């Protein structure tokens, strides 16, 4: 045992092992992500910039119930509704203060109509604070930009409640199955 240790000390076995390791690492591909040059695709379900969903006819899905605003922990959603000509509820203004938003996604969970969404878009820096104050028009435009076509249709099915387009809930989803069991 002692001669073992002596040999190890004299011939620097440990140091040479370490040197061999670093030399091997020299030829491994680096893990660096060259982000601005090579964009990093966001993971599915990433909570990025907000968007207001549109239905098949192109109308805004939001009905102005205000649940998202009530749930919002940072209180950054402001909704103003008025009465339309046919006594229906009209969403006059729907505004998200993105600089206050913490991207918890509670609004998406809360919305019974799947109207408010979080897109996978995250590169929206600006020199101007106003650019981060999302009005209804901007939010609807975001839907067209980041959820065009199939992407928008698939969005809720994958990650958010309700999973189905008829808002019945998917039996395999943990949350809903629990609620159903409690109901029984």
Partner 1 sequence: MTELFSQFLNPLLIPFIGAEFAAMAVNIIVILIKVAVVVAVALLHVAYATYWERKVIGHMQLRLGPREVGPFGLLQPFADGVKLFFKEDIIPDNADKPIFYLAPVIFFVAALTSLSVLPFFDGFVIADINVGLLFLFAMSSLGAYGIVMSGWSSGSKYAFLGGLRSASQVISYEIAMGLSLVGVMIMAGSLNLTEIVRAQYESTFSFYAIPQVMGFFVFFVAMFAETNRLPFDLPEAESELVAGYFTEYSGFRFAMFFLGEYTGMLIMSSMATICFLGGWTLPKFIMDALPFLSSLPAFVWVAVFLAKVYVFMFLFYWVRATLPRYRYDQLMNIGWKVLIPIALVNITVTGLAKIWFKGMI
Burial class from Cβ neighbours inside 10 Å (0-12, 13-18, 19+) for residue 164 reads middle
User: Between residues 15 and 102, which has the closer beta carbon with respect to partner 1?
Assistant: 15
User: Between residues 1 and 31, which has the closer beta carbon with respect to partner 1?
Assistant: 31
Burial 118-153, CB ≥16 within 10 A → b, else e: bbbbeeeeeeeeeebbbebebbbebbeebbeeeebe
Return the residue of 7, 21, 40, 175 that touches partner 1, per CB under 8 A: 21
Return the residue of 13, 19, 175, 179 that touches partner 1, per CB under 8 A: 19
Would you give the distance in Å from CA 84 to the centre of its chain?
Answer: 33
Return the residue of 1, 2, 4, 25 that touches partner 1, per CB under 8 A: 25
Question: Under the criterion CB under 8 A, does residue 28 sit at the interface with partner 1?
Answer: yes
Residue list 113-152, contact with partner 1 (CB under 8 A): none
CB 93 within 8 A of CB 79: yes
Residues making contact with partner 1 (CB under 8 A)? 15, 18-19, 21-23, 25-28, 30-32, 34
């Amino acid at each position: 045992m002692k001669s073992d240790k002596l040999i190890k000390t004299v011939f620097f076995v440990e140091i040479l092992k370490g040197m061999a390791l670093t030399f091997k690492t020299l030829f491994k591909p680096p893990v660096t992500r060259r982000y601005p040059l090579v964009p990093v695709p966001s993971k599915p379900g990433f909570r990025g910039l907000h968007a207001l969903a549109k239905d098949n006819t192109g109308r805004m899905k939001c009905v102005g119930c205000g649940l998202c605003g009530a749930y919002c922990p940072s209180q950054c959603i402001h909704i103003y509704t008025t009465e339309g000509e046919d006594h229906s509820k009209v969403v006059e203004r729907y505004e998200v203060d993105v600089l206050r938003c913490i991207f918890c996604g509670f609004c998406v969970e809360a919305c019974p109509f799947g109207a408010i969404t979080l897109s996978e878009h995250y590169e929206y820096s600006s020199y101007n604070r106003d650019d981060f104050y999302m009005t209804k028009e901007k939010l609807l435009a975001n839907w067209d930009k980041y959820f065009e076509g199939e992407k928008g249709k698939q969005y809720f099915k994958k990650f958010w409640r309700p999973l189905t387009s008829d808002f019945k809930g998917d039996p395999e989803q943990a949350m809903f199955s629990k609620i159903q069991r409690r109901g029984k």
